[in-house]
Amino acid sequence: MKPYLAAALQMTSVPDLDHNLAQAEELIDLATRRGAELITLPENFSFLGDENAKFKRAEEICKASEKFIKTMAQRYRITLLGGGYPVPSPDGRTYNRALLVNDNGEELTRYDKVHLFDVNLPDGNTYQESADVTSGSALPKVYSSPRLGNIGISVCYDVRFPELYRQLSKDGAEVLIVPAAFTAFTGKDHWQVLLQARAIENTCYMIAPAQTGFHNARRQTHGHAMIIDPWGITLADAGDNVGMAIAEINPSRLEQVRRQMPSLKHRVFG
């Protein structure tokens, strides 16, 4: 692993596949021009705002999303993470899948979101992800890259479940990626503190691409795509607008923090 720039992209995706992919490519192009070698797209980057339409068009969105991720990685010679997108599952629902590919467009690892967002919020919004989404059945596998470090991936609601990230760090993760579409209501209180907690307790970098703004008349996301260092310091924050958080991932900083705070070596339970 060597020092490199990573980018967490921030989008306002809508129920328009072509529009979303065009927005994503503009941001990828900009991040590449700024020198990013690892670029990450948020959850639902290709379609957001109409769950019924997303479910009915799942196969189309899946194929377009995977083709886009692989094509962009090849075109811009980057490692690219495509946050959650729908993949038809055997039970008639869909998986919410994140896919990591290399600069040849080859799959490095994939992960189907395990923790599903079934929540009634005080602001009146109800989310029932399990109605259309099948929970994944396996922990994400850590991908080991000599150039980019050991990468563990997850998706959005997973960030509330520290045991997942503890397992990733036990498996050697140094960089944790959390593509998200965090609600505006929960995000204002929980998003940053959860990301910082996962970074601190696992002494890992956190890269968190995000959705922002309104995706239909009711659905609003928090934004604030972030990159956080292993000490919990926020290196970059995209704020509320479409754009990106971009920062250096530095192995010497990782080694320094793990040397000064060797908590991973002091685990008693697990």
Which letter does DSSP use for residue 50 in this model?
-
Rounded to 10 degrees, the C-alpha dihedral 76/182/176/113 comes to -90
Q: Which of 37, 43, 66, 129 is catalytic?
A: 43
Q: Which of 51, 54, 129, 156 is catalytic?
A: 156
Amino acid at 37: E
Under a CB-based contact definition with an 8 Å cutoff, are residues 98 and 179 in contact? yes
Q: Which of 62, 113, 129, 204 is catalytic?
A: 113
Structure tokens given for 144: 């080991």
Q: Name which of 159, 231, 157, 235 is nearest 199 in CA terms.
A: 231
β-pairing, 205-208 vs 226-228, is antiparallel
Assess whether 43 carries a catalytic annotation.
Answer: yes
Under a CB-based contact definition with an 8 Å cutoff, are residues 187 and 160 in contact? no
Under a CB-based contact definition with an 8 Å cutoff, are residues 23 and 13 in contact? yes
Assess whether 170 carries a catalytic annotation.
Answer: no
Residue 36 to residue 27: CA distance in whole angstroms = 11
- Coil, strand, or helix at residue 198? helix
First to last CA, the chain: 27
Assess whether 204 carries a catalytic annotation.
Answer: no
DSSP state string for 134-158:
PPP-SPPPPEEETTTEEEEE--GGG
What phi, psi does 96 have (nearest 5°)?
A: -105, 100
Query: What are the catalytic residues?
Result: 43, 113, 156
